[in-house]
């Protein structure tokens, strides 16, 4: 009888676990997007800096 109760408890927890994984997946996706935006901003800053260096060398 107790083994049935344990298996029912395990089955009952599965939907909440899947819901938790879906939330963490969304969280990781937003972190990944944030990293890509940060990389793009750093790359843009590097291009602007190199343009400044080129203007100083030419001018």
What's the pLDDT at 18?
Answer: 57
C-alpha distance from residue 49 to each of 14, 36, 41, 46 (Å): 52, 20, 12, 5
Length of the chain (residues): 59
Predicted TM-score (pTM) of the model is 0.52
Distance CA 25, CA 15 (A): 15
Query: If we measure between CA atoms, which residue out of 45, 44, 42, 23 comes closest to residue 34?
Result: 42
**What residue segments make up the domains of the chain, in order of their start?**
1-59
Tens place of pLDDT per residue across the chain (59 aa): 555 555 555 555 555 555 556 666 677 788 889 999 999 999 999 999 999 999 999 98
């Amino acid at each position: 009888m107790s083994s049935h109760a344990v298996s029912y408890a395990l089955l009952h927890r599965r939907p909440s676990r899947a819901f938790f994984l879906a939330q963490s997946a969304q969280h990781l996706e937003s972190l990944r997007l944030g990293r890509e935006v940060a990389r793009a901003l750093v790359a843009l800053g590097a291009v602007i800096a190199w343009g400044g260096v080129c203007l100083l060398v030419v001018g």
